[in-house]
Amino acid sequence: IYSNGNEKSCDEGFFDGEGFWCNPVYEQGSEWIFKFREIVKTLGLEKLFIGSLIESLHELAVIRILHHRYPEIAKYQMSCGEDLLEPGRSRWCGNCSKCARMYIFFLANDIDPRRLDMSTNMLESEYRELFCLFNGGRGGYGYDSSRLGRDEQLLAFLMAYRNGYEGDLMELFKKTYLKEAEKREKELKKKFFGIHQTKTMPEELKDKIFKIFREELKDLQ
């Protein structure tokens, strides 16, 4: 079995200005996994199964499970992996939309980013444009520029706020989005901490994996 780390949001898309349906991370979605299987079979690898073990979860839930259940593995997590990083320095560039997304997801799950060698305080105002919640389009990653992750960040900021984290962007969140987040909290938690249908997970592993998901997410849905 070969498993991709493709979560639920990789199947989401939007209509562009010309009316075309777009998926900014198509190569990470379940449709591409099926095409990848066809390619592998063409190459003669009939017994190799390709799927995703986390396809039924959104990234916010994946972070929760990874760091709560598998901390010895989670401490090695990285984000952008920018080629421009100097050898020996932090594995986080701290200046892209992917790092910003991971940063607020850590705070939402009450994980101190400094434990993961992420020293940048991304709640400072200079990083506003890296968060799609604040209409940010800077950062260089198609998924974040599409603003598909807006609601997931809305929930993450609400959870981080309740965890007591402070900063310029937390103040902006409180003034601009707190009421919306509180009003939609139940809906947002059901979506982003829910366990959704899966198309590519190996059937022989599904029951065991879903059991882990239910154990870790039961108090968050």
Q: Are residues 46 and 154 in the same domain?
A: no
**What pLDDT score does 185 carry?**
98
DSSP state letter for 50: E
Q: Are residues 4 and 38 in the same domain?
A: yes
Closest CA to 77 of 90, 87, 88: 90
Q: Are residues 118 and 52 in the same domain?
A: no
Helix axes 203-217, 59-69, angle to 10 degrees: 80
**What pLDDT score does 30 carry?**
80
Q: Are residues 121 and 153 in the same domain?
A: yes
Q: Are residues 136 and 216 in the same domain?
A: no
State how many domains the chain has: 2
Handedness of CA 63, 66, 71, 75 (dihedral sign): negative
Q: Are residues 138 and 48 in the same domain?
A: no
Q: Are residues 38 and 135 in the same domain?
A: no
- Tell me which residue range forms the domain holding 187: 58-193
Cα-Cα-Cα-Cα dihedral of 140, 143, 146, 150, to 10°? -110
Q: Are residues 67 and 142 in the same domain?
A: yes
Closest CA to 91 of 101, 105, 106, 77: 77
Q: Are residues 52 and 62 in the same domain?
A: no
**What pLDDT score does 79 carry?**
72
What are the DSSP calls for 163-217, one per residue? TT--SHHHHHHHHHTHHHHHHTHHHHHHHHSS----SSS-HHHHHHHHHHHHHHH
C-alpha–C-alpha distance, residues 180 and 184, integer Å = 6
Q: Are residues 170 and 185 in the same domain?
A: yes
**What pLDDT score does 205 carry?**
92
The burial class, CB within 10 Å (0-12 / 13-18 / 19+), for 62 is: middle
pTM: 0.87
Residue-by-residue pLDDT tens, the chain, 221 positions: 566 678 888 777 777 778 887 877 777 778 788 788 888 888 888 888 888 899 999 999 999 999 999 999 999 888 776 555 555 566 888 888 899 999 999 999 999 999 998 999 999 999 999 999 997 655 555 666 666 889 999 999 999 999 999 999 999 999 999 999 999 999 999 999 999 999 888 889 999 999 999 999 998 87
Cβ-proximal residues to 66 (8 Å cutoff; 6+ apart), any chain: 73, 74, 77
**What pLDDT score does 15 carry?**
76
